Amino acid sequence: MGKIVLIYTGGTVGMRENPQTGALEAVDFGELLPMLGELGKMRLEFETVTFNPPLDSCNVGPETWKQIAEEIIARYDSADGFVVLHGTDTMAYSASALSFMLDHLSKPVIFTGSQLPIGRPRTDGKENLISAVEIAAARDGDGHALVPEVCICFNSQLLRGNRSVKVNATGFDAFSSPNYPPLATAGISIKYNTGLIHHPSEPGRPLEIHTTLDTRVSVLKVHPGITEQAVRDILLGTGTRAVIIETYGSGNAISKAWFLSIIREAVKMGKILVNITQCLSGDVDMDIYATGRALKDAGVISGHDATTESALGKLFFLMGGHPDNHEVKALLEKNLKGEISK
Ligand code: ASP
């Protein structure tokens, strides 16, 4: 019988209405278990870990990611897979970060949650959780995990964590993976796209966790009418070591002299500037337009087809492990965990 560890961090899936205010608040996982009788029929052993207090994922950050990584490594040898129950708002950030923090992963770590609390009659939480558990327990003929990756399982789709984005605030189809196909789709049975699933490059190597993160990153979203002062504040602020620049289309931004001179000044200060497109799909190619080429010439590096969520987690992880910015830049350009198509 396989063993699955359920890590409940919080989120709508486990929330209940506060009778006074009507607002949703996270409750203890123990209160949810009676509603999850279906799990008992799955011929699996479960261990549950509950975060205290459970968090609305708006309050999740590097400390929580570290805690998730530590809970996983502490149970790694005795478990077959992990399901992380998490709020949807920052799930794509957490799944992205964990994909870099968990090295040599050979077991599934499946994030899930829901748009409606599990206690509501029309909840999507039960189906999401049960599919996530089934995927976390799935093995091939040789007994190896079918999906040894950090993923998000939501609305019948299994998405690579570091390719996922939250795209719908209210619908059940809350997540999408615009630049990489789903790893599996749940219908009457779960169909795995086995050729797309990432496997450890050194099988048998024990899991290692990297919990030293450098969070000195900010995000500049370019938009028409952006002021010089706003660009200065973000790009030249002393508190940042890297800035993700969310550009237009295939990686284009303002080519006016004041903008490019701030970019050059930031590069001179030693900052790592990463170009990510604001478009949901497609990738950055700074050679197509003069406006993109100007950024490349000024020292901005391509984020390729990464999501902002994934670029942020990758920067935190790389900067945490490498004091030298040249090393960080070189590794940013490499596909480490399937996060970019390169
Ligand atoms: N605010 C909630 C959270 O992210 C929303 C959700 O779970 O869907 O925790």
CA 28 to chain centre: 24
* CB of 178 closer than 8 Å to CB of 168: no
Among left, alpha and beta (phi > 0; psi -120 to 50; other), residue 218 is beta
For the CA of 55, the closest atom of ligand 1 is 9
Ligand 1 binding pocket includes 57 (Cβ within 6 Å) = yes
From 8, 32, 57, mutation site for ligand 1 pocket: most ligand atoms within 8 A of C-beta: 57
Specify burial of residue 322 (Cβ count, 10 A radius: 0-12, 13-18, 19+). middle
Task: Kindly give, in sequence order, each residue whose CB lies less than 8 Å from that of residue 276, ignoring residues fewer than 6 positions away.
Answer: 244, 245, 246, 247, 284, 303, 306, 307, 308, 311
Ligand 1 binding pocket includes 87 (Cβ within 6 Å) = yes
**How many residues in total does the chain contain?**
342
The one-digit pLDDT tens for each residue of the chain (342 residues) are: 899 999 999 999 888 888 899 888 887 777 777 777 788 888 899 999 999 999 999 999 999 999 999 999 999 999 999 999 999 999 999 999 999 999 999 999 999 999 999 888 899 999 999 999 999 999 999 999 999 999 999 999 999 999 999 999 999 999 999 999 999 999 999 999 999 999 998 988 999 999 999 999 999 999 999 999 999 999 999 999 999 999 999 999 999 999 999 999 999 999 999 999 999 999 999 888 888 888 999 999 999 999 999 999 999 999 999 999 999 999 999 999 999 998
Residues annotated as part of the active site: 12
Ligand 1 binding pocket includes 124 (Cβ within 6 Å) = no
Please give the model's pTM, rounded to 2 decimal places. 0.96
Token reading at 135: 């995927």
- Taking CA 279 as the corner, what is the angle to CA 277 and CA 285, rounded to the nearest 5 degrees? 45
Q: How far is the CA of 60 from the centre of ligand 1 (A)?
A: 10
Token reading at 107: 């077991």
Q: Which helix (H) or strand (E) holds 6?
A: strand 3-8
* Distances 171 to 61, 151, 161, 174, 341 between C-alpha atoms, Å: 25, 20, 19, 6, 28
For the CA of 15, the closest atom of ligand 1 is 7
